[in-house]
Amino acid sequence: MSRIETIISELSSISNNPKKAMEDYKKETGKGAVGVMPYYAPEEIIHAAGLLPVGIWGGQKSISKARAFLPPFACSIMQSVMEMQLEGVYDNLEAILFPVPCDTLKCLSQKWKGTSPVIVFTHPQNRKLEAANKFLAEEYRLVREKLERILDVKITDEALTKSIDIYNENRKVMREFVDIAAAYPQIIDPIKRHAIIKARSFMEKSKHTAMVKELNSELKSLPVEDFTGKRVVLTGIMAEPNEVLEILKENGFAVVADDLAQESRQFRNDVPLGPDPLYRLAKWWQEFDGCSLATDAKKSRGPMLIDTVKSSKADAVVVCMMKFCDPEEFDYPIYYRQFEEAGIKSLFIEIDLETTSFEQTKTRVQSFSEML
Amino acid sequence: MFTMGIDIGSSSSKVVILEDGLNIIAAEVIQIGTGSTGPKRVLDEALSKSGLKLQDMAKIIATGYGRSSVEESHKQISEISCQAKGVFFLVPSAKTIIDIGGQDVKAIKLDSKGCVKQFFMNDKCAAGTGRFLDVMSRVLEVSLNEMAEYDSRATEPATVSSTCTVFAESEVISQLANGVAKENIIAGVHQSVASKACGLAYRCGVEEDIVMCGGVAKDLGVVRAISKELKKPVIVAPNPQTTAALGAAIFAFDEVIGANK
């Protein structure tokens, strides 16, 4: 097995088994993990406390118990998160960080059924005001205080600054990976690409950085081969389950860039420089644009996606619409019209973590491939 | 030269045999679809009626929900591409296609050359599909063939939900219990189907000529309701249930003569 295959295999294994990743971290450091609910949270504070931040993104699951607590039109991620919390899946987490940028998260934060303590915080939506930075920095101060109390640790500014540096380095390496992977679609297919990115949700970031850095370097040493398939940009919350990515692969698509909340939106912006680490983390939210969960009066998601299509030389955009995600559904007609005006083709597919039948997705993807 | 298109849907199986990419030699339909004896029976019937053998086909292309299970085919092409090809062959002025089959509703936008510019499909939901009409036909005890005639006699269409087949079925049952005339209920059912299909067409952008195909296009009550909702005339493709099979047969011909891109 080549070094590239070994790294991909290790990252895929972590991506597919976060429970084992947590257990390994505990064995190695003696410290536990803190869950991080979607979509954006100051993971650096958890990292500075020495614990493992673990992304909670639901999973492919049949829903039954959650039906008693959620309306049928709650989004697919939250349905599966509720189902798993009722099964006690998250009870070994030391705490859970809970941002509430949409109505579903807001309501879910008030009815958590697991046993781990939940720390809820609010992202201001009047983001472009200076007051928003001050408000969010204060929210993060409270998050730090609560974590210190729950975990019985002291989280210093110095440790936090160091963690921000580690995260910014990971963001930079991930952006490089996305660009490099686009040149090697024969090696980094949509499933592998997703696994490499997703693994960062379950790993100590400097370890993830080191592995991806090595992968980048190994990939760059290989000759770039012609790719005869189609190149697409994914947009949405997430592109799971893997069957969806498998269908893209089968139909000759390469993912050359993405605007997924679970993937590039996490690392496309660095935490800015400054003297106060909590203020810096807050400022990240102000500078972050092009996401349905962050109010954007200029609606820049469409133009940003169009730029991404151009810079990545993509043939089209695949819209991975999370089932019953209001914010994403509201954004869609706006950027769809912008795509039409710019002559950019797009495909709409529905993302439902509960589904086990993918015939409709197959038909849509095959038709799209024939259309391009 | 003969080519064949096989369209295996969720509730019917269709075969078209084409001579030299122009003349339809056979166009057969059996009202059972994938996973049943339908595919084999319709194939046998088309060959028997045309007096041809499978070996006479220069190329066979399969399409539809069950396209990957057709062993006789040399290639599979999606039903969206095949509908576009078949409808454009029959109605070259077509710009918008509304295709309602057993379990799918699709709106397809064509360019002036008949190529697919954009398409939208229904979500995983039977509302607005042929299955929805099947359920209503059973509850109302009116055959699918009679529904358009009932609709034409409606005086005040009832309101029938387009959100969910099961809810809509219970609405229809309570309307029957309240003595609402079947004619008015059926007109409401047709409006419900139209609102679902037109929602997809609006997303695509509606441009004339609008052509309907798929098994549901045979129900003129649905065609009228769609035309009323869009406030535009709707053309029903000739033999609308076989347009995708026809498109597949044309694709097969084009491939043999090397005309495809």
The beta-strand segments (E) located in chain A are 33-36, 52-55, 95-99, 118-121, 230-236, 253-260, 316-322, 345-351
**B122 and B67 assigned to the same domain:** no
Closest chain A CA to residue B76? A366
CA distance A151 to A142: 14
Average pLDDT over residues B118-124: 87
Average pLDDT over residues B97-120: 94
**B52 and B134 assigned to the same domain:** no
CA distance B245 to chain A (A): 15
Q: Residue B260: what pLDDT? A: 61
Q: Residue B67: what pLDDT? A: 94
Mutate to test the interface with A, among B63, B78, B113 (most CBs of A within 10 A): B78
Return the SS3 of A265.
helix
CA distance A331 to chain B (A): 14
Mutate to test the interface with B, among A230, A251, A363 (most CBs of B within 10 A): A363
What residues does each domain of chain A span? Answer: 30-158
SS3 content of chain B, % helix, strand, coil (to 5): 45, 20, 35
Evaluate the omega torsion of the peptide bond into residue A241 and state whether it is cis, within 30 degrees of 0. yes
List chain B residues with CB under 8 Å of A355: 124
CA distance B64 to chain A (A): 9
Provide the b/e sequence for A100-128 (b: ≥16 CB within 10 Å).
Answer: bbbebbeebbeebbbebbbbbbebbeebe
Q: Residue B164: what pLDDT? A: 77
Concatenate the DSSP letters of all residues of A7-64 into one string.
HHHHHHHHHH-HHHHHHHHHHHHS--EEEE-SS---HHHHHHTTPEEEE----S---S
Q: Which residues of chain A have pLDDT under 70?
A: none
**B19 and B126 assigned to the same domain:** no
List chain A residues with CB under 8 Å of B124: 350, 352, 355, 357, 360
Q: Considering the domain A30-158 in this protein, what is its CATH number?
A: 3.40.50.11890
Return the SS3 of B230.
helix
Closest chain A CA to residue B124? A360
Q: Residue B170: what pLDDT? A: 85
Return the SS3 of B236.
strand
List chain A residues with CB under 8 Å of B78: 363, 366-367, 370
Q: Using one digit for the tens of pLDDT, what is the confidence trace for B42-64?
A: 999 999 999 999 999 999 999 99
| Residues above pLDDT 70, as percent of chain B | 98
Asked if the model's pLDDT at residue B89 lies above 90, the reply is yes
CA distance A244 to A232: 14
Closest chain B CA to residue A355? B124
Closest chain B CA to residue A334? B203
**B205 and B114 assigned to the same domain:** yes
**Residues A334, A59 contacting (CB under 8 angstroms):** no
* Domain count across chain B: 2
A360·B124 Cβ contact <8 A: yes
Of B78, B118, B205, the CB nearest to A363: B78
Asked if the model's pLDDT at residue B3 lies above 90, the reply is yes
Q: Residue B237: what pLDDT? A: 97
CA distance B10 to chain A (A): 11
A364·B121 Cβ contact <8 A: yes
Nearest-CA neighbor of A246 among A78, A365, A360? A365
Query: What ipTM score was computed for the predicted complex, to two decimals?
Result: 0.86
CA distance B252 to A333: 37
A363·B116 Cβ contact <8 A: no
Asked if the model's pLDDT at residue B86 lies above 60, the reply is yes
Name the interface residues of B facing A (CB cutoff 8 Å): 65, 76-81, 104, 115-121, 123-124, 205
CA distance B132 to A283: 52
Mean pLDDT score of chain B: 93
Token pair of A48 as six digits: 């500075």
CA distance B95 to B88: 9
What's B185's domain CATH number?
3.30.420.40
Nearest-CA neighbor of A47 among A133, A134, A170, A131? A170
List chain A residues with CB under 8 Å of B119: 364, 367, 371
Residue A151: count of CB within 10 angstroms of its CB: 19
Contacts 24+ apart (CB under 8 A), A337-343: A337/A302, A338/A302, A338/A303, A338/A305, A338/A306, A339/A302, A339/A305, A339/A306, A340/B205, A342/A306
Closest chain B CA to residue A371? B116
Locus of tokens 């046998």: B44
Domain that includes residue B115, residue range: 93-236
Position B137 confidence tier, pLDDT thresholds 50, 70, 90 = very high
Residue B37: count of CB within 10 angstroms of its CB: 11
Average pLDDT over residues B216-236: 95
